[in-house]
């Protein structure tokens, strides 16, 4: 049996821990229109980073670069007001067994966040379920250039917060998109593809992650990892 303290588990938020039922996209598009007076271009938001989505949309509209910092600051303020208002008036979904997994790993091991949300947006979403307090470390979508750098920043921040390092094979990233999987691979750590809605089940080929499943059965995954005798592949549905 491995020492559970020798593991770091990183969590994406949207689609992995919880589902805001479209509130994130609604708040982003409304804030964008309010600040820039134009509709948000049809960019892919899934697995995206708030800062990069805003920057790319800003440039797509060919707006003056010298106004970017001012507009980005205004956008953040308006977005956070909208998402906070929605949070107070709407029931969101926390995926089955997710609370138990987070609370357990926060005590047994070390945990952190890897999210494209800006920090205060992440706090609002997690505080809706009383979970933000468990995450002492993390990286957020305000000042990074790629998903891979988001992950590396999270690992470095965790090292600083916890005052230690981990073997790459003992760092796991829970995420719900193939972008999350690739960002873990790019950093030499283990991706865990969380597929609550079974988007990848039944498709040709196999998910490009050694571990693949849902938090409702994540105890099977954790038992396998902590045993020290890891399976070549493990589906935990």
pLDDT of residue 33: 94
- Treating both helix axes as pointing N-terminal to C-terminal, what angle do 23-36 and 50-60 enclose, rounded to 10 degrees? 40
pLDDT tens for each residue of 135-163 = 999 999 997 989 999 999 999 999 999 99
Residue 200: both structure tokens together: 């990848």
Provide the token pair at 159: 């090292």
- Mean pLDDT over residues 156-175, rounded? 98
Selected residue with higher pLDDT from 144 and 98: 98
Give yes or no for residue 108 having a pLDDT over 70: yes
Reading the block at residue 190, the tokens are: 């283990």
* Architecture in CATH for domain 4-19+94-236: 3-Layer(aba) Sandwich (3.40)
What is the predicted pLDDT for the residue at 204? Answer: 61
Q: What is the pLDDT of residue 88?
A: 94
Over the chain, what is the mean pLDDT?
94
Answer yes or no: are the C-beta atoms of 127 and 135 closer than 8 Å: no
Among residues 65, 171, 169, the alpha carbon closest in space to that of 110 is found at: 171
Note the pLDDT tens digit of each residue in 30-89.
999 999 988 888 777 778 999 999 999 999 999 999 999 999 999 999 999 999 999 999
- In SS3 terms, the chain reads as CCCHHHCEEEECCECCCEECCCHHHHHHHHHHHHHHCCCCCCCCCCCCCHHHHHHHHHHHCCCCHHHHHHHHHHHHHHHHHHHHHHHHHCCCEECCCHHHHHHHHHHHCEEEEECCCCHHHHHHHHHCCCCHHHCCEEECCCCCCCHHHHHHHHHHHHHHHHCCCCCHHHEEEEECCHHHHHHHHHCCCEEEEECCCCCCCCCCCCCCCCEEECHHHHHHHHHHHHHCCCCCCEEEC
Which residues, other chains included, contact 98 with Cβ-Cβ below 8 Å and sequence gap of 6+?
17, 18, 215
State residue 143's pLDDT score.
Answer: 78
Q: What is the pTM of this model?
A: 0.95
Over range 172-180, report the average pLDDT. 95
- pLDDT at res. 1: 75
pLDDT over 90 at 205, yes or no: no
Name the token pair of 47: 């697995």
Does the pLDDT value for residue 206 go beyond 70?
Answer: no
């Amino acid at each position: 049996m491995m020492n559970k303290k020798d593991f770091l588990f990183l969590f994406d938020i949207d689609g992995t821990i919880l589902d805001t039922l479209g509130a994130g996209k609604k708040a982003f598009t409304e804030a964008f229109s309010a600040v820039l007076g134009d509709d948000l271009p049809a960019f892919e938001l899934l697995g995206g980073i708030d800062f990069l989505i805003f920057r790319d949309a800003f440039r797509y509209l060919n707006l003056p670069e010298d106004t970017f910092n001012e507009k980005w600051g205004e956008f953040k303020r308006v977005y956070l007001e909208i998402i906070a208002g929605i949070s107070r008036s709407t029931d969101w979904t926390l995926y089955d067994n997710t609370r138990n997994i987070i609370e357990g790993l926060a005590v047994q091991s070390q945990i952190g966040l890897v999210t494209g949300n800006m920090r205060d947006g992440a706090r609002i979403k997690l505080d809706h379920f009383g979970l933000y307090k468990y995450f002492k470390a993390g990286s957020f979508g305000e000042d990074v250039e790629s998903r891979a750098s988001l992950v590396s920043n999270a690992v470095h921040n965790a090292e600083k917060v916890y005052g230690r390092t981990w073997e790459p094979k003992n760092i796991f990233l829970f995420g719900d998109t193939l972008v999350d999987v690739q960002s873990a691979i790019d950093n030499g750590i283990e991706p865990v593809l969380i597929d609550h809605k079974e988007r990848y089940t039944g498709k040709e080929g196999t998910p490009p992650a050694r571990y693949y499943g849902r938090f409702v059965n994540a105890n099977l995954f954790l038992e396998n990892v902590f045993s020290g005798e890891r399976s070549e592949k493990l589906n935990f549905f």
